[in-house]
Amino acid sequence: MDFTTPYDATTPVTHSLERIGYTHNIDWRHWHNIRSDSSPISDWIPLEEGKYYAMETLMRSWGGDSHYTLSVEIETTDSTGHPNARRAQQYLEITNDDVPEIWTLTVEGIDDGMYKLNFVHPTTSETWQSDELYANMSANDFKWVIDEYFWQDPWWTGIDVTVEYYDDTDTLLDSADGTEVKSIYTVQALRRFESYTFSSVTVLIDSTAATITVQKPEEV
């Protein structure tokens, strides 16, 4: 956390972050059970009302149910230490600029033909080829064909897929009703990463006559 230089989006600066606490695995909400190899409670930190401060938090999940909790206490003249030095409701706003990866695939000229996708791993440059995809398949079927790619190191994530359909006047439809000529699949990772899950993707046309384009995460 940088508690010396308030954050200002209009005049951004490079913040110098200082570690103020850390902990190892503990039971659900047992933050008061402090282990000898942990320091989960910081010293008192002077903050200015109405200001924003840069803070980075990291959590590692080893599988199973996971949780992360951040709590704030307010010091008073009669505070005797942590925790719960002052039992009062406070307001803390936390925002982050780390968003889930999102990318889209557009099919124009929907038919029942097939195609495949080739994903290139951003660090190993290895290519992963999907099984057959259909130009008119549902969001759920599309998901299960490409889902396997994202279950690999270093992501190990599931994905969520939605699809929107458009008619020949480019009007958004409530659902596929037989008049759709274009579909846009939106794919979102269910975890957050420091980099994108693929550096490029190639569409391999088989029997479909549709035009298929992919908008990569950095372009969305």
Are residues 83 and 3 both part of a single domain?
A: yes
Q: Are residues 70 and 120 in the same domain?
A: no
Q: pLDDT for 89-134, tens place per residue?
A: 555 566 655 667 999 999 999 999 999 999 999 999 999 999 999 9
Number of domains the chain is built from: 2
- Beta strands 102-108 and 159-166 are unpaired
Asked if 145 and 213 sit in the same domain, the reply is: yes
- Which of 73, 86, 108, 137 is closest to 213 using CA atoms? 108
pTM for this prediction: 0.60
Same domain, 146 and 200: yes
Q: pLDDT tens-digit profile of 26-40?
A: 665 555 566 666 777
Domain enclosing residue 130, as ranges: 102-219
Tell me, yes or no, whether 57 and 142 share the same domain: no
The most confident of 11-15, 52-56, 114-118, by mean pLDDT: 114-118
Establish how many alpha carbons lie within 13 A of residue 217's alpha carbon, considering only the half-sphere containing its beta carbon: 18
Domain boundary among 44, 79, 97: 97
Compute the half-sphere exposure of residue 139: CA atoms within 13 Å on the CB side of its CA: 16
Q: Among 39, 71, 97, which residue terminates a domain?
A: 97
Q: Are residues 106 and 213 in the same domain?
A: yes
Task: List Cβ<8 Å contacts ≥24 apart for 59-64.
Answer: 62/25
- pLDDT given for residue 50 in this prediction: 83
Check residues 12 and 137 and name the one with the higher pLDDT: 137
Last residue of a domain, one of 97, 117, 149: 97
Q: Do residues 9 and 30 both lie within one domain?
A: yes
Tell me, yes or no, whether 80 and 67 share the same domain: yes
